[in-house]
């Protein structure tokens, strides 16, 4: 059943059929994905087939689609061309309660920004009803920019976290969440300081027992000590032990800002450096995601690599708060496991495409200003960081992160036509530009560019707020994207 959509000035230049809400279905579109083997696959006229369990049953060029799978008739493919289907984006670092302050406090140093803009905001989440209202909107906001997996911090209040998990359960997004733990400085003014550590551990453990692995692993728990400035050595150690005992993730911030780093050195004089604070607590390892890691020494870098610890790269936040520019090429060369994070509201935008764009500009600036010799990443490298590499950081690379048979169907449908520069002029000029570019085809607009790197470049550098039209997790459509039409 195809509902044809009306084209309006603010929507897509192309009419699209209504998108399927649940599996099984098959989509015909341009398909762009990194592959497990390390390449990029691009099908100009491709089909992705999703089985009734929400797994990718087949993907490839439309002309090669098998006429029948086993004894089943193939599901008719819904023709979405020229939409682009990609794997859903993976956001490795975000703060759910902070979305209302997105874009506030640019250029403040981290510790001032936290005190002025963030702690007063998070304190409002002692009201579970307020939290319950915001959480569904936050998940819609993530999905609207193409994020289908998010690793996020909540606030310190257990009731607000319960509301956030329930909202994620209902929304359908893939979410790993954790109650923020703070026992050295906290914004919870009503808390009994003598029991703060025990209570935080108990509440985290209860939330973890209830939600870690829920809905066959779609939801997960991350034990979440905020950072070394707000946590005692006891809390860091006990929280790491809790994560190890339960198999949950462990997430915190590291080496984000010079003032923060100096404060950690003052609070933990026995530690060799910032990374060593977490190492001594037993916090390093493959289930750990450290946000930022902008200013690592060679020793810290080597220790993270050796221990298999992961990093969430949050360049939009790092420039918004003037924290610094990660030496990404040096880290990648050392073999550090890295994916992308929005860090909203440290980053002003929940979009991972936006984080990629700021990251690309920042790395170009490093190269020219510092004379670094490594080549900068191209658009397809950034797409990989924001999808498959992020999935691998979470240990989910065998399940999501790319569009390959056997994986779960976490997909997004994007209208790249909305990203064309000077859209109306582009359409009008299409007939006059024959031979003007390497991928130009006479009589077609730039939207028809059939080079995957050009398409990725447009999504990253010319984003449109409505370009993500649909998002699916395990083949189930989630709310947030602009929809077809």
**Binding interface with Zn ion (CB under 5 A):** 291, 343
Query: Interface residues for ligand GUN in 414-453 (CB under 6 A)?
Result: none
- Greatest Cα pair distance in the chain: 75
Q: Are 122 and 186 in contact (CB under 8 A)?
A: no
Q: How far is the CB of 93 from Zn ion (least distance, A)?
A: 6
Stretch that binds ligand GUN, among 110-118, 242-250, 419-427, 468-476 (CB under 6 A): 110-118
- Per-residue binder mask for ligand GUN (CB under 6 A), 263-302, x = binder: ----------------------------------------
Nearest to 340 by CA among 384, 296, 376, 285: 384
Q: How many angstroms separate the CA atoms of 377 and 329, rounded?
A: 9
Q: How many angstroms separate the CA atoms of 292 and 315, rounded?
A: 8
Binding of residue 317 to ligand GUN (CB under 6 A): yes
Question: Is the Cβ of residue 347 or residue 481 nearer to Zn ion in the bound state?
Answer: 347
Among 51, 91, 203, 343, binds ligand GUN (CB under 6 A): 343
Among 118, 326, 388, 391, binds ligand GUN (CB under 6 A): 118
Binding of residue 253 to ligand GUN (CB under 6 A): yes
Q: Are 169 and 214 in contact (CB under 8 A)?
A: yes
* Phi–psi pair at 175, nearest 5 degrees: -140, 135
Among 183, 256, 279, 447, binds ligand GUN (CB under 6 A): 256
Q: How far is the CB of 344 from ligand GUN (least distance, A)?
A: 9
Q: Is the dihedral of CA 236, 242, 247, 249 positive or negative?
A: negative
Nearest to 89 by CA among 418, 349, 376: 349
Among 110, 152, 235, 430, binds ligand GUN (CB under 6 A): 110
Q: How many CB atoms lie within 10 A of CB 259?
A: 14
Per partner kind, with CB cut-offs from 5 to 8 A, the member of Zn ion, ligand GUN, none near residue 226 is ligand GUN
Q: How many angstroms separate the CA atoms of 68 and 357, rounded?
A: 42
Binding of residue 226 to ligand GUN (CB under 6 A): yes
Among 114, 135, 362, 388, binds ligand GUN (CB under 6 A): 114
**Joined tokens for residue 420:** 């064309």
* Contacting residues toward ligand GUN, per CB under 6 A: 95, 110, 114, 118, 226-227, 253, 256, 317, 343, 346
């Amino acid at each position: 059943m195809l509902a044809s959509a009306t084209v309006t000035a603010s929507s897509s230049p192309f009419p699209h059929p209504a998108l399927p809400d649940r599996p099984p279905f098959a989509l015909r579109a341009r398909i762009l994905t990194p592959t497990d083997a390390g390449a990029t696959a691009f099908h100009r006229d491709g089909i992705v087939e999703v089985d009734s369990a929400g797994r990718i049953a087949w993907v490839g060029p439309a002309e090669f689609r098998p006429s029948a799978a086993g004894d089943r008739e193939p599901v008719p493919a819904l023709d979405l061309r020229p939409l682009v289907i990609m794997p859903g984006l993976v956001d490795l670092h975000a703060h759910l309660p902070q979305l209302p302050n997105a874009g506030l406090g640019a250029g403040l140093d981290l510790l001032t920004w936290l005190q002025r803009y963030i702690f007063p905001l998070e304190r409002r989440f002692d009201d579970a009803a307020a939290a319950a209202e915001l959480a569904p909107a936050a998940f819609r906001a993530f999905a609207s920019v193409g994020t289908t997996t998010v690793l996020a911090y909540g606030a310190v209040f257990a009731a607000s976290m319960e509301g956030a998990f329930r909202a994620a359960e209902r929304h359908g997004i893939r979410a790993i969440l954790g109650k923020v733990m703070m026992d050295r400085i906290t914004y919870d003014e009503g808390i009994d300081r003598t029991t703060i550590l025990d209570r935080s551990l108990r509440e985290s453990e209860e939330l973890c027992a209830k939600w870690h692995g829920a809905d066959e692993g779609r939801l997960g728990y991350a034990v979440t000590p905020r950072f070394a400035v707000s946590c005692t050595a006891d809390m860091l150690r006990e929280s790491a032990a809790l994560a190890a005992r339960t198999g949950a993730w462990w997430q915190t911030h590291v080496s984000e800002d010079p003032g923060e780093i100096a404060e950690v050195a003052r609070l933990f004089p026995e530690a060799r450096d910032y990374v060593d604070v977490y190492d001594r607590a037993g916090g390093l390892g493959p289930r750990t995601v450290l946000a930022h890691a902008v200013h690592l020494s060679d020793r810290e870098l080597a220790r993270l690599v050796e221990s298999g610890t992961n990093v969430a790269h949050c360049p939009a936040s790092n420039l918004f708060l003037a924290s610094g520019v990660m030496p990404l090429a040096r880290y990648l060369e050392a073999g550090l496991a890295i994916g992308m994070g929005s860090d909203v509201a440290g980053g002003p935008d929940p979009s991972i495409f936006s984080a990629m764009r700021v990251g690309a500009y920042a790395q170009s600036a490093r190269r020219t200003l510092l004379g670094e010799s490594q080549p900068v990443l191209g658009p397809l490298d950034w797409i990989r960081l924001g999808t498959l590499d992020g999935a691998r950081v979470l240990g989910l690379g065998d399940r999501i992160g790319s569009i390959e048979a056997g994986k779960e169907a976490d997909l997004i449908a994007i209208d790249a036509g909305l990203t064309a520069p000077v859209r109306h002029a582009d359409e009008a000029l299409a007939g006059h530009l024959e031979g003007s570019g390497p991928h130009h085809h006479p009589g077609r607009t730039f939207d028809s560019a059939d080079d995957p790197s050009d398409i990725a470049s447009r999504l990253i550098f010319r984003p449109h707020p409505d370009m993500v039209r649909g998002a699916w997790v395990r083949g189930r459509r989630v709310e947030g994207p602009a929809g077809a039409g």
